Amino acid sequence: MELITERPEWFEEALNKQYQNKTVEINGAKIHYMEWGDPKNQSVIMLHGTNAHAHWFQFIGALMAENYHFVTMSFSGMGESDWRSSYDRDTFVEDVWGVINDAKMDNPVIVGHSFGGMASLITASKWSHLMAGLLLVDFVVYKPEEHFEWYQDREPARPPRIVSDREELLKRFRLMPPQDCENQFLVDFIAENSIRKTETGWSWTFDPATYDGLTIGSDHSKILSELSCPVGFFYGENTMEFNARRGVNGMKELLPKGSPIAVLKGAQHHLMLDKPLEFIDKLKELIQTLISN
């Protein structure tokens, strides 16, 4: 695979697009979020995956800004948001709802990728009547008998690793779960926003203890069945996070009849990095389908 390291013109233009950089205090922690577009337009909030951050979707927000009020955020313990002494499922849900309120998002569509899919599902379960729609991106809902806890075999977190050389840390950055990606310029941009300066060197922005004892819950299928807002499912054709055929068939059984399901050809789990412009085109299409239901 030949890597694309030079930033395309469209990406540079997206990064130069003005946005509002904000924080809101939620249960004692400052939560970082980024905001684009006119609040009078349809609101969309996009939630990131494990150990990721708001900047993952910066280019998406910029390219959605003309037609949408778009927000992307960092969960507590990740990105530029504060760390907490402990975390549970509701921690991240309250982060999301706090940002939605602070950004004055009226009837938003929640888009959740991977871990963000879990948080978006639980958020929608609590305030489904206030949501225009929910889009799960490469996040599969399983029946209770198929449920497994993501972090049950995880060893207790070690103290954050600190290195003296910034470039050395950047070289260590890897997508999680691991996958190749020809758009190295996107991976590099994410890496640059995944590190922080400490008193003694450089370290990652995420809290290693975020997932200690974290339970995602076995009630996802029940929650999905009780939602009053429209729901959609969007996944990468070559995702390794689940068996695509089995996962899609299972989702078809659980999703309300007529729910939009879309696949991004040639994409893996981090589909917005594999096919960035195609992802945005399909995202817009799915959002319009959800809000018209």
Alpha-carbon distance of 229 to 225, in angstroms, equals: 11
Query: Quick check: 93 and 119 in contact, CB under 8 A?
Result: yes
The pLDDT assigned to 243 comes to 67
The pLDDT assigned to 244 comes to 61
Query: Quick check: 154 and 177 in contact, CB under 8 A?
Result: no
Q: Within 13 Å, how many C-alpha atoms sit on residue 18's CB side?
A: 2
Classify burial at 177, counting beta carbons within 10 Å of its beta carbon; exposed 0-12, middle 13-18, buried 19 or more.
middle
Residues 6+ away with beta carbon under 8 Å from 147: 218, 220
- The residue among 215, 210, 212, 254 whose CA lies nearest residue 232 is 254
- Whether CATH 3.40.50.1820 fits 9-292: yes
Q: Considering the chain, what percentage of its residues have pLDDT values greater than 70?
A: 99
Query: Quick check: 98 and 76 in contact, CB under 8 A?
Result: no
Q: Within 13 Å, how many C-alpha atoms sit on residue 215's CB side?
A: 4
- Give the residue ranges of the chain where pLDDT is below 70: 243-245
Alpha-carbon distance of 191 to 187, in angstroms, equals: 6
Question: What pTM, to 2 d.p., does this model score?
Answer: 0.96
Alpha-carbon distance of 186 to 241, in angstroms, equals: 21
pLDDT tens profile 79-133: 999 999 999 999 999 999 999 999 999 999 999 999 999 999 999 999 999 999 9
The pLDDT assigned to 249 comes to 84
Q: What angle do CA 16, 117, 88 make, to 5 degrees?
A: 105
The pLDDT assigned to 168 comes to 95
Query: Quick check: 57 and 46 in contact, CB under 8 A?
Result: yes
Query: Bridge partners of 255?
Result: none
The pLDDT assigned to 158 comes to 83
List the domain boundaries for the chain.
9-292
Classify burial at 210, counting beta carbons within 10 Å of its beta carbon; exposed 0-12, middle 13-18, buried 19 or more.
buried
The pLDDT assigned to 138 comes to 95
